[in-house]
Structure 1
């Protein structure tokens, strides 16, 4: 029997791909969108075979109506406290009201459970919602994918193609960082959505790669030895982020403020995934670090 799945955040990059992967697996997929959603994005979902439901996201009643008869609600929402906490709470309350048995929250990030509260603003928002989610009776599964591999293309300090440099903090040149492609994250999430026995937390990574490993792979691809350097101690990096945040109060209202980007970097060098669930679903093929780097490193 086909699973009936409701996706929130389906017009976003990850949410759209989750819908695609669910359709490929012959699930019946519905997506909730705001009445003001761009018609082009709605048409893309309809063309894929997704049933689009326009709802007032501030109305638990309307959300509950959309949840009726669904086997699971998948949240791929992105935003600050008004979305990650408040909207997800309404969505969860609606799922409970409609007797939906399972829920996947928007925890697509590093597994923050071992991190210190206060070190990453966006993770703290997810931590607040997690506490609320775990206080309910619904069966939940979080997919922790580390960092989206796309960030390697954005000239961050970890890999800067413009400066031909690779950087790290502390004594962590051999510290493995967790990266997962958006496609791999979407495919794994689709499998979890269809798996009634999925556990509470699942850690994944398309590839785990240290700065030293990154240096070697880039040299293999380009034939060029990039500059590999320690940027500062972890302690100095933490102090820098605090000052950066204090100097930019407007960033509190920005999803990816510059200091928030630094917090993500700090988190990547503070914790890593030790119990990968990559092989839980044997039909999946994972992107390798070399293959991903070859797609854009020149």
Structure 2
């Protein structure tokens, strides 16, 4: 019998990376969910064993149609708190009603399970949804995949660290703080493997590489034979104070505080992935390290590496 993997938010780059990873497995049927199927690349729509259901994030009837008969549901939503919380609850309720055994939540972040409940965290929806699954659901089991920071995002304009005009990285701290970094495609490959592993439930941790800013510079200098300039913005404590100040001034202006807030949690020891990972659970997946990532991207294209993912028309 084919395994049906239902992916919510199929127009997103990460969702499409997961779909591509799933295409490598035999007897997998992919059912996507999104509000604008016309935005999907033709190459995805024409791919074998792919069906797309149209619906809004809060459309309970469409959600039930989407999850019906699925072996596992993966949430790849990216949006407002309403989408990330209410939208996921709609999916989870549909899974519970229609006996879908597992739900892979829209996490893919640092180890938020160790962040205090009253602390500011850009993906607070992850904590809310994990608690919702644990507290209210009996049939559907929650699956939470933690990957640290996404490597492409680290170099994107969104994150605000990399300045391609000066070839410099802005950072907070000493430069010796460790970062967990995983590419989209590595995270997607592990997610696909987890989706097809019926025994995979609870929290799983996967990492592509672990580097300090100083080690990132060393790797960059070696691969690109050009120096990466480092710009120290202050201490970790000053970073936290900056985040708090921005949040208090304008909590609804997420872009004013979220990137720095995520950077803060990336370097906190308690929220890092640690040494006990689940990489070895799926030997067929080869994790991409930072050096390999650099070798596959021209230096002037690093800032748009996250835009080159997924399917193309």
Paired residue total: 291
Instruction: Give 2:12's aligned residue.
Output: 12
Task: Please list the CA deviations of residues 131-151 of structure 1 after superposition, one character each: whole Å capped at 9, or x if unmatched.
Answer: 101121222211111111112
Q: Alignment RMSD, CA only?
A: 2.1
- Contact persistence 2:18–2:192 (CA under 8 A): yes
CA distance, structure 2, for counterparts of residue 214 and residue 51 of structure 1: 41
Shift of 1:157: 5.9
CA distance, structure 2, for counterparts of residue 42 and residue 185 of structure 1: 21
SS in 1 for 2:194: helix
Shift of 1:21: 1.4
CA distance, structure 2, for counterparts of residue 97 and residue 42 of structure 1: 32
Instruction: Give 2:99's aligned residue.
Output: 99
Q: Which runs of 5+ in 2 are unaligned?
A: 301-313
Instruction: Give 1:282's aligned residue.
Output: 283
* Match status 1:183 vs 2:185: yes
Shift of 1:251: 0.6
TM-score (norm 1): 0.90
Q: 1:225 to 1:6 in 2, by over 3 A?
A: closer
Instruction: Give 1:89's aligned residue.
Output: 89
- Contact persistence 1:108–1:145 (CA under 8 A): yes
TM-score (norm 2): 0.86
- Contact persistence 2:183–2:208 (CA under 8 A): yes
Moved more, 181-190 or 48-57: 48-57
Moved more, 187-196 or 19-28: 19-28
Q: Comparing both chains, which one has the higher relative contact order based on Cα–Cα distances under 8 Å and sequence gaps of 6 or more?
A: 2
SS in 2 for 1:122: coil
Instruction: Give 1:123's aligned residue.
Output: 123
* Match status 1:162 vs 2:161: no
Instruction: Give 2:238's aligned residue.
Output: 236
SS in 1 for 2:108: coil
Q: Which runs of 5+ in 1 are unaligned?
A: none
